[in-house]
Amino acid sequence: MRFFQPAAKPQVSKSVADAIAREEASGLSYVFWGRNLVLVLLAIWVSLTLPFERSSLYLSAILAFAALGIVPYALRNRTGANTAPVLAFIILDAAALSFVLIVPTPFDFEGWTQQMNLRTPAFLYLGVFVVSMALSYKPTLVIWTGLAAAAFWSLGYLWVATQPNAIPFTSGDVLDEGMGPEMALAKILDPNAVGLARLSNQVVFLVLISVILTIVVVRSRALVRRQVAAEAQRAMLSRYFSPNIVREFSEGRWEPDEPGNRPVAVLFADMVDFTSISEKLPPHELIALLRAFHGRLAKVAFEQDGTIDKFIGDAVMVHFGTPRTRPNDAERALRCAARMAEVIGEWNAEREREGAPPIGVGIGVHYGTAVVGNIGDEHKLEYTVLGDTVNVASRLEKLTRKIGAQVAVSNELIEAVKRGGADPSVVAPGLLQAGVHDVRGRRESIEIWSLSRV
């Protein structure tokens, strides 16, 4: 098993683009429903705090804002990625909100002037308007909203400042005139006075929150990109490595150790009579057959949390007990072997209905101590298991032809299953003792258990 990061830039880029597009689409939905929720809360608050003769104007404005929100949302859903309708209605929103906050007189009593509207905290609703656009997940919309709000609020503010009865002033005007505190305070508090310094501060406020929110959105999008890219790379790695290895490695819960001895169960599965099959099939059909064969075996191995070490031609090598040793390693290996035989039997039933010849499989499983770890140098590493346990499992797979069985299991594995508290006959129904057999490369004979061919 090789630790490397396969290049998959096109897939990752497409995945990131799709994820960002989904976030933007859902973001506009959040803006729409969040806007409506705020408008409902404002309508309730206005109805409870103002008499009807004064609240009716604001309730009408709230309904108008609700209508302005429905149109771009509907157009955005119909036109897809086209943001032009949204940009256009942001301008209308900014203009309408500035008008409502500046032009109508909120207090119905004598002496209240248009200029005094600029001194109320109503300006903060523009800030809420800008903040809400951060839900869109689009930096351009946040910037556009901030600029539109600043522009239309400035136009409305300056319009009030240029009215015939208005007295515009700046802080510098008051200080330069050298007037005393009482006169300066009287000028500032004059009902017709319009402080231009307040406008500067308000514009700066809108610009600053727009910049901050834009940075927040950009960072959020970068986080999504990293997360989607990591998931895409993890999915790509899972095509080459076992999911248990990828999962623990990507989550930082496991770092490959130096090679060392540990107990493992090793399984070899091989297609029977592959040489004669390969001679009869054209290359593309042979590759398709191997992929179907390997795919079925790999799925079973992954279901049992086995680690696929490698595909060797038509064979597959799987081990259990890596990257961590578990009490049921032997049990999972035996269950995997039995399930592999069952799956190939089901596949042969399908092939028979299609008029294709059956595919035989030989499976050998052994349990014992093996060398586990990274093998290789700094340029190329392979996470694998080595030693007598691996050799015996491979020999047992070859032995299935001799004993006429589909699965050959060593007595060492059966004893390990029992030590783990499981019943081998329940884990692999039909398991029978197959006597003692000589295995090439071993001085001592091995007691074998087997599952007959399906």
pLDDT digit string (tens) for 98-122? 888 888 765 556 677 778 888 877 7
Whether pTM > 0.95 for this model: the answer is: no
Per-residue pLDDT band at 350 (split at 50, 70, 90): very high
Type and span of the H or E element at 167: strand 167-169
Q: pLDDT tier at 4 (50, 70, 90 boundaries)? A: very low
Instruction: Quote the longest CA-to-CA distance of the chain.
Output: 114
Instruction: Answer left, alpha or beta for residue 125, where phi above 0 means left and psi between -120 and 50 means alpha.
Output: alpha
User: 285-307: per-residue pLDDT in tens?
Assistant: 889 999 999 999 999 998 898 88
**Do 61 and 43 meet the contact criterion of CB atoms below 8 Å apart?**
no
pLDDT of residue 1 exceeding 80:
no
Residue 75 is predicted with a pLDDT of 63
pLDDT grade, residue 25 (50/70/90)? low
Distant-in-sequence, close-in-space partners of 171: CB < 8 Å, separation ≥ 6: 195, 197
User: pLDDT band at residue 12, thresholds of 50, 70 and 90?
Assistant: very low
pLDDT digits (tens, 9 = 90+) for 212-248: 999 988 888 888 777 777 776 666 656 555 666 666 6
What's the mean per-residue pLDDT of the chain?
80
**Contacts of 252-259 spanning 24+ positions with Cβ under 8 A:** 254/323, 254/324, 256/3, 256/323, 256/373, 256/374, 256/381, 256/383, 257/373, 258/373, 258/374, 259/371, 259/372, 259/373, 259/374, 259/375
**How many other CB atoms are there within 10 angstroms of residue 421's CB atom?**
9
> pLDDT value at position 8?
41
From the CA atom positions of the chain, what is the Rg in Å?
Answer: 37
Percent of the chain, pLDDT > 90? 27
- The whole-number average pLDDT for the span 143-153 is 91
- Residue 361 has what pLDDT? 92
Q: What is the pLDDT of residues 156-170, one digit of tens each?
A: 889 988 888 888 877
pLDDT band at 148 (very low <50, low <70, confident <90, very high): very high
What proportion of the chain, given as a percentage, has pLDDT over 70? 77
Show the tokens assigned to 116.
């005094």
- Res 379: pLDDT: 67
pLDDT digits (tens, 9 = 90+) for 329-347: 999 999 999 999 999 999 9
The answer for residues whose C-beta is within 8 angstroms of residue 172's C-beta and 6 or more apart is none
pLDDT at residue 136 tops 90: no
